[in-house]
Amino acid sequence: MSKFYVKSEQLLNYTLALQKINDIALPIAVQNSLNAVARDIKKRTLKKITEQQFDINKKTFFQANSGYKTNGAKDFNYNVNKLKAEIGITKGRKSKETATEQVGNQQTATPIKRSINPLGTKPQTKANIDILSQKPEVYDSSQSYSEGNSNAYIRKAQKAYRNKSGLLIKNGKRGALNKVMSIKSRKPTKKDPRKMLVNVKPIASYIKDGHVKLKKRRAFLNDAAAMSMNDVVGKEFIKEARKQIDRAMRK
């Protein structure tokens, strides 16, 4: 929750003037200022902060999956200490719930429930990111396929290669998500009866019902709120205070 501090002499003078007008002038000015801050976070500072803190593949992700709620001072019975405007990560129309949950968890460094986790510490290539974002073909060696496990494996690899999706090779609850690099026909021999050679490259690990422990907290919403409060709230409070004073003088 944002707190409203009156720091400058100009803001203090406006505060005292509003308190002399009537009991609700100050709460209305403060609430409208907080509403302006929430809108500024959504439209401006959230984009700035997240571009600094995240490697964003889709530039519109945070804008599309964030929302704010503004209120009137009357909603809080004109109690200045209870006034608030809210902003948070929400599920956009075309976004997966898991994506927004995972981003939201970074605010508090809460473990993320995720079965598939990219390997290594280097940023993923665009091709790998595209594969990770799609539903993979799944080959589970712990199952018995009616067509034969070898044929099932080749069929699923061919489909993954054709659709440029991942091939999840697992054995029950563990395995790896792979990028299919190539599929080649070959002449079978007694030593190696395979008719196809499938070349795959692991790009992520798989643990059913797994989770990721975040190394650090990324309080991006707090940082965006602090930036907007610093840039906007004083100016907005003066503007809203003038409105209340002008309205009182017209009566």
Q: Are 227 and 140 members of one domain?
A: no
Q: Are 224 and 170 members of one domain?
A: no
Instruction: Write phi, then psi, for 8 (nearest 5 degrees).
Output: -80, 160
> Shortest CA distance to 184 belongs to which of 202, 194, 198, 201?
198
Q: Length of the chain in residues, anyone?
A: 251
pTM for the full model?
Answer: 0.57
Classify residue 88: in a domain, yes or no.
Answer: yes
Classify residue 2: in a domain, yes or no.
Answer: no
Classify residue 1: in a domain, yes or no.
Answer: no
Classify residue 178: in a domain, yes or no.
Answer: yes
3-class secondary structure, 141:
coil
Structural domains counted in the chain: 2
Classify residue 4: in a domain, yes or no.
Answer: no
- The pLDDT, as a whole number, for residue 181 is 94
Classify residue 18: in a domain, yes or no.
Answer: yes
Q: Model confidence over 64-93: pLDDT tens digits?
A: 777 889 999 999 999 999 999 988 877 655
Contact 142, 172 (CB under 8 A): yes
What range does the domain containing 182 cover?
115-209
Q: Model confidence over 139-179: pLDDT tens digits?
A: 999 999 998 898 899 999 999 999 999 999 999 888 899 99
Q: Are 47 and 63 members of one domain?
A: yes
Please give the mean pLDDT across all residues of the chain. Answer: 82
Q: Are 186 and 246 members of one domain?
A: no
- The pLDDT, as a whole number, for residue 240 is 93
Q: Are 68 and 143 members of one domain?
A: no
Q: Are 156 and 92 members of one domain?
A: no
Q: Are 159 and 65 members of one domain?
A: no
Q: Are 173 and 203 members of one domain?
A: yes
Contact 170, 141 (CB under 8 A): yes
Q: Model confidence over 100-124: pLDDT tens digits?
A: 555 655 665 555 566 777 777 666 7
Supply the DSSP string of 48-98, one letter for each residue.
HHHHHHS--SSTTHHHHTEEEE---GGGGTT-GGG---EEEE---TTS-HH
